[in-house]
Every structure is written in C-alpha cells, then in structure tokens.
Amino acid sequence: MEKYADPVDGSEYSLAEPRWRSDAGRPLWIDPGPGITRSDIDTSISSLWRYHWALPVEIHTPISLGEGRTPLIEADWESRSRVLLKLDFLNPSGSFKDRGTSVLFSYLRQKGITSVLEDSSGNGGSSAAAYGAAGGLDVKVFAPASTSPSKISQVKAYGAKVELVPGPRSASQDEAIRQSERKGFYASHNWQPFFLQGTKTLAYEIWEDLGFHVPDNVIVPVGGGSSLLGCWLGFQELVNSSQIASMPRLFAAQPLNCSPVDARFVSGTDKPVDRPVRPTIAEGTSISRPLRLEQMIAALRKTRGGSVAVTESNIVRALGSLCDRGLFVEPTSAVAAAAFSLLLAEGRITPGEKTVVLLTGSGLKSTQTIVDLLGRS
C-alpha cells in the first residue's frame, strides 16, 4: 500500500489520515506508483479524472470543474523552429493549479475535512477558493499585504475569506500554519503531496495528446516546483507501467532575479548556493527558498534535463511573442517560453527535437501589468 514518506529520514505514514508534514516538520511525499496503461484511461470522462486509476487512493466523489484536457498546440517560434505549447492557463480558475487542487480537495473532503487554510499570493489562492466553492468547503486564504488587489478579487468572488498579512511571502505561510492549529486543515499547495498527485496528470495528458508518445523535452516555469515534480511523477509512472521507454528531459525555467533552482543546479553541488534575489515580473515563480528544492534538482538530473535563468527583458520579449500568437498569459508563463529561446540559442536543445512548453497562468489575472510591460496601452 502506498504511503506518505519523509524523503529525508524515510519515516512513513498511512494515507488514511490527512497530513501535511512529517513528525520532523518536513513536507511529505508519495512515491511514484505502478502507473496505468492506455486501457486504464476512463475515456468517458473529459477531465483529468480520466486518469483516476493512477491515484494512490480511490476517490469516490471528485470535486471537478472540468480541469485538465487543455489544448496542446503547435506554433512557429524563433530560428524557424516549432514548439508545442500546453495551454494550461485554460483551466477553470485560470491556472494549472486547478489540477492539484481538484485532487487534493477531493481527498480531503472524502476524509471528512470541511474547512481548509491556504497561503498564496496569486493562482494557488484563486484555485483553492474556486474548488472550495465547488465542493462545499470553507476556505480561508492568507496573502501578503502587497498582493495585487485584482488577484485578491478573484478569491473573494468565489466566497472565500481573505486575510492580508504584513511582511514577506513567508509571513503568510507562518500565519496560516499558526491558525491551522485551531481553525482548519492546512491545505498548502507547496506542502501537500496530494497536490502533486493532481499535477502529475500533466504527464499523462501530454502522453495521450501525442498519440501515447512523449516529447524530447518539457520546459516548465518553476517556483515551488509542483508542475516540475508532477511531470516527473507522471512520466516515471509511465516508465513503471512500460508505456514509455524513457522520460523526456525536464527543464526548470526561472527568472534570473529569483532563481534558487538554477543556482543550485549549475553549481553541481549538493550544498546551498546563494544568489541575489530581486523583484521580478514573474510573480508566480518568486519563491526564494522552495521547500522541495532537493527533489527538484534530483528530477532534473535523473531526466538529463537542466535549468534556465532568464532576464526580465527576455521575459517581456517572450510575453510579447506569445501575445502576438493570440496567447494571453501572465509573465510567469512567459518565463518558460523565454527559456525555450535561450535553450535553442545555446544549442542545449535543437529545432528538430519535439519540445513542450507549459503555459501555466492566464493573462486575465494581470491585464494592466501586461499592457504596461509591452507598451501597448
């Protein structure tokens, strides 16, 4: 039977009891399962729940808004190359996080949880509020006091409670954890291993999108790492079930101004690496101390992938290129597109390879910011 595990000390815990950390206070993990085959896909379901047999527990009544099954389109890019763009910003609340929230909240509700707390400065909070509303859960979101009012508006529109917390992003997390001791279950997308069970459907979906094959490369924007680690879990399960012979190379894309994953990866060491952290327009990736850094580095190394750190100007350039192709995404998504350009220029990937770039969040969340950045007002 699959269990929660602390990746550091190996301690294990039953999945029968909802948990968000080990006894040692670390994030928990669920190892890759045996995976599923083509015949296990429930084709009667047009959402990520078509892959429900890949989950470590059976969910009897999912909370679903039709998440997943987002388009994978082919587009021209630089140097006469072609790229596959995974439009995950078309999920119900406008971001890929709906994949993780749907699975996590479905599991928690099945276990009797009725009130949850989340800390987020953007997409995570919006997703939690949306699925709380859909599933009848009471949701409270803690966000930095500096968070854009437009992002808070979406959370409030779903009926969730919001508490703005002075100080850095970490202060919101600390306050959510403190209040969870008496007011609700802490359902952070950064801490919860069941959230990764939702994001792993990205891998299954790309596999199915490509006629049950996988691309050579997958590039994802990385902050806390849930899309990267979800892809690693899903592709590893496809190897486990003998559906693919090997995994695609995974690339973590970050803004140079906040790039702890790139700093560690390029150093080639297993020790912390300091790199200056500055403000970035890619707010969704602005996490200076990701909880699952070690696991992200391992995923990049095991797939023979890598990391990319892109400048603010290159993010803006990629954002404009995406808009010119009719794709209105937030700057965080543009980080992955900018990374694709850089990887091509450096020869780390070639135009002849099949590369998927994950576009994670909708530009509708940052409309005025995008117009200002592109000078198109």
Distance CA 328, CA 320 (A): 9
Domains 72-95+194-374 and 114-186 share a fold: yes
Q: For the chain, how far is it from start to end, CA to CA, in angstroms?
A: 56
Distance CA 12, CA 127 (A): 29
CA distances from 119 to 154, 189, 243 (A): 15, 8, 37
What does the DSSP 8-state code read for residue 256? G
Residue 289 — φ and ψ, nearest 5°? Answer: -135, 75
Other beta carbons within 10 Å of 279: 10
C-alpha 166 chain-centroid distance: 25
Contact 35, 63 (CB under 8 A): no
Other beta carbons within 10 Å of 253: 33
Q: What is the model's pLDDT at position 147?
A: 81
Q: What is the model's pLDDT at position 182?
A: 87
Distance CA 224, CA 189 (A): 9
CA distances from 124 to 245, 271, 346 (A): 34, 29, 33
Residue 3 in 3-state DSSP? strand
Summary mean pLDDT of the chain? 95
In which region does residue 226 sit, left (phi positive, over 0), alpha (psi from -120 to 50) or beta (all else)?
A: alpha
Domain ranges within the chain, ordered by starting residue: 72-95+194-374, 114-186
- Domain at 114-186: CATH code: 3.40.50.1100
- Predicted confidence (pLDDT) per residue in 32-65, tens digit: 999 999 999 999 999 999 999 999 999 999 999 9
CA distances from 231 to 126, 238, 352 (A): 22, 11, 22
Other beta carbons within 10 Å of 134: 17
Residue 162 in 3-state DSSP? strand
Residue with tokens 């099945």: 110
Instruction: Please determine, for residue 148, whether its predicted confidence score (pLDDT) is greater than 80.
Output: no
- Predicted confidence (pLDDT) per residue in 322-363, tens digit: 999 999 999 999 999 999 999 999 999 999 999 999 999 999
Tell me yes or no: is domain 72-95+194-374 CATH 3.20.20.105: no
Any idea of the CA torsion for 44, 111, 20, 143, to the nearest 10 degrees?
A: 80
Instruction: Please determine, for residue 7, whether its predicted confidence score (pLDDT) is greater than 90.
Output: yes
- Predicted confidence (pLDDT) per residue in 194-232, tens digit: 999 999 999 999 999 999 999 999 999 999 999 999 999
State the pTM of this model.
0.96
Rg of the chain over Cα atoms, rounded to whole angstroms, equals 19
Any idea of the CA torsion for 213, 219, 220, 222, to the nearest 10 degrees?
A: 140
Distance CA 104, CA 101 (A): 5
Residue with tokens 């276990």: 111
Distance CA 96, CA 333 (A): 11
In which region does residue 225 sit, left (phi positive, over 0), alpha (psi from -120 to 50) or beta (all else)?
A: left
Q: What is the model's pLDDT at position 1?
A: 63
- Predicted confidence (pLDDT) per residue in 26-35, tens digit: 999 999 999 9
Contact 238, 261 (CB under 8 A): no
Residue among 164, 126, 336 nearest 250 (CA): 336
Distance CA 64, CA 67 (A): 7
Q: What is the model's pLDDT at position 376?
A: 87
What average pLDDT does range 77-86 have in this prediction? 88
Both tokens of 40, joined, read 């296990």
For residue 92, the number of C-alpha atoms closer than 13 Å in the C-beta half-sphere is 22
Q: Are strands 185-186 and 249-255 parallel, antiparallel or unpaired?
A: unpaired
- Predicted confidence (pLDDT) per residue in 159-185, tens digit: 999 999 998 888 899 999 999 988 899
| pLDDT band with cut points at 50, 70 and 90 for residue 121 | confident
Of residues 365 and 30, more confidence is placed in 30
Number of residues that make up the chain: 377
